[in-house]
Amino acid sequence: MGPVGIVRMLSTLVRRDLPPLRMQELGRDYPRIASIGTAKQQAFLVSHPDLVRELLVVQAKAVEKGPALLSAGVLMGEGLLTLRNAPHKPRRRLVNPSFHHSRIAGYAEVMVSATDALDRRWAALRPGTEIDLAQEMSALTLQIVGQALFGADLGEQAEDVYRSLELAMSGWEKTLVPGGERLLQIPLPVFRRMWGAKAALDGVVERLVRRAQEHRGDDVVSGLLESLSEDEVRAEAMTLMLAGHETTANSLTWTWHLLSRSPKVAALLRQEVVGTEPTYAGLRDLPFTTACIAEGMRLYPPAWILEREVTEDLVLDGYVIPRGSIVVASQYALHRDPRWWRDPETFDPTRWLVDGRFDEDAPGQPRGAWFPFGAGTRQCIGESFAWAEAVLVLARLARHWAPQSLRDPKLHAAVTLRPEGGLPARLMAAPH
Ligand code: HEM
């Protein structure tokens, strides 16, 4: 492999062995590409923006989703997130209209009303009540995705979905060792709990699908039922339900945490939102709120790593990466790389502003150094949905609330980057 760094790992791509901080370290030692595989499985980490673009965009045809995500297919079924490229293309075409920008305005009404319902619920609590922000944000985003995309009220299922997802992810993480799929057949408690959690999630989706069959509306599931088999519809509904709430919930949770640790930034945010009525039509009037969300996703990208499997030999940085290899790129590492970001570890939303306007290019980073939503043909379908949602939720709640985090949580790098053990916080009214 010549000068490519050879880093021996105990096992390949066990995410616990390659946590986000380790990715950062590897990027420092091997600033472009590192070999991180084992004798049995070749694997590479790309740490340069140009190579991220090569992997996700330029040479996207030579790669498929990697095994870690595909094994999540055991839980989710084959939906947009996990499908192979060939069946993905027509499926994406089918689902795209539901995320067309003309639809987002309607979804935003749901975002606003669900947020205001939470606002009222918080107002009924004693000041200083301890809440788990991670759970609160997850329940809110689940409610939003349920109502917006499925026309269904998932409020009552929120706690069940939150717990089930946690159990399902813990089980899934244990399978990320070579040959891990076989472990699933062993009746260990962790897998029994995982299957139980999967059954609970399946139950929620089953109800969504049955509901759509009974009352065909203009929701996504009703639309999919026209062209897909029931199994395919279930997998897609599960994908949209999980991918559509867990990531945005994490983005909001981490942003609250950062705001709680940066009173000056929180005061600037309040200056923008207090006394206003934030709506979808007025998103452009929320540059600082938008910058807070961007800065939260820079420091704590909900999707912290992307993985691909090479299906045709490809050349990266002059090296032949043979078919069968795994290549990963980490948003966590790239988003904090001092080569592209000034004061990379500092929470500074103003880096995203130019003349008071929010601009994703404002920090001056090269393309490929900022990819919270991925890139190329597999780029997040819910990106506009997520921006609208995160900004509206934060803007509306920050008018009245300044929750104070009770600890600095460790990273729990599962499929998404979560605060380990949730985010306990004291619910405090926003100071005047
Ligand atoms: C802050 C919020 C979000 C983040 C950070 C995020 C991140 C991502 C990333 C990085 C990918 C690409 C994965 C890869 O290339 O392997 C992705 C794909 C996807 N996301 Fe999101 N996402 C967010 C919100 C949403 C929402 C709100 C929805 C739906 C309502 C959604 C649905 C999906 C789907 C279906 C895919 C697969 C797309 C495809 O391959 O065609 N996401 N997301």
Protein residue closest via CA to atom 18 of ligand 1: 380
User: Is pLDDT of 369 > 70?
Assistant: yes
Ligand 1: distance of its center to the CA of 109 in Å?
A: 21
**387 lies in some domain:** yes
Ligand 1: distance of its center to the CA of 296 in Å?
A: 17
Closest ligand 1 atom, residue 307 Cα: 16
User: Is pLDDT of 261 > 50?
Assistant: yes
- pLDDT score recorded for residue 16: 46
Ligand 1: distance of its center to the CA of 355 in Å?
A: 30
**69 lies in some domain:** yes
Cβ(34) – ligand 1 distance below 6 Å: no
- pLDDT score recorded for residue 17: 46
* Host domain of residue 47: 5-420
User: Is pLDDT of 266 > 60?
Assistant: yes
- pLDDT score recorded for residue 175: 73
Q: Which two tokens stand for residue 236?
A: 């897609």
**432 lies in some domain:** no
Compute CA distances 185 → 175, 181, 188, 195, 389, whole Å.
11, 8, 9, 10, 39
Ligand 1: distance of its center to the CA of 243 in Å?
A: 6
Q: How far apart are CA 235 and CA 79, in angstroms?
A: 5
**168 lies in some domain:** yes
pLDDT band at 390 (very low <50, low <70, confident <90, very high): very high
- pLDDT score recorded for residue 2: 32
pLDDT band at 9 (very low <50, low <70, confident <90, very high): very low
**429 lies in some domain:** no
pLDDT single digits (tens) 124-138: 999 999 999 999 999
Share of the chain above pLDDT 70, in %: 94
- pLDDT score recorded for residue 152: 87
User: Is pLDDT of 4 > 80?
Assistant: no
**342 lies in some domain:** yes
Q: How far apart are CA 165 and CA 68, in angstroms?
A: 16
Closest ligand 1 atom, residue 149 Cα: 30
User: Is pLDDT of 122 > 60?
Assistant: yes
DSSP 8-class letter at 228: S
**Mean pLDDT to the nearest integer, 210-221:** 88
Protein residue closest via CA to atom 37 of ligand 1: 81
* Residue among 169, 230, 228, 229 nearest 197 (CA): 169
Q: What is the DSSP string of 84-146?
A: -HHHHHHHHHHHGGGGSHHHHHHHHHHHHHHHHHHHHHHHTSPTT-EEEHHHHHHHHHHHHHH
| pTM of the model as a whole | 0.94
Ligand 1: distance of its center to the CA of 237 in Å?
A: 14
218 vs 86, residue with greater confidence: 86
Cβ(91) – ligand 1 distance below 6 Å: no
CB-CB contact of 52 with 371 (8 Å): yes
**426 lies in some domain:** no
Share of the chain above pLDDT 90, in %: 76
Residue of 380, 385, 389 to mutate, ligand 1, most atoms within 8 A of C-beta:
380
**Mean pLDDT to the nearest integer, 291-310:** 97
Question: For the chain, what is the domain count?
Answer: 1
Cβ(381) – ligand 1 distance below 6 Å: yes
pLDDT single digits (tens) 21-42: 999 999 999 999 999 988 888 9
pLDDT band at 12 (very low <50, low <70, confident <90, very high): very low
Q: Give me the CATH number covering residue 109.
A: 1.10.630.10
Ligand 1: distance of its center to the CA of 84 in Å?
A: 16
**430 lies in some domain:** no
Cβ(393) – ligand 1 distance below 6 Å: no
CB-CB contact of 270 with 397 (8 Å): no
Q: How far apart are CA 392 and CA 412, in angstroms?
A: 26
**Mean pLDDT to the nearest integer, 110-128:** 97
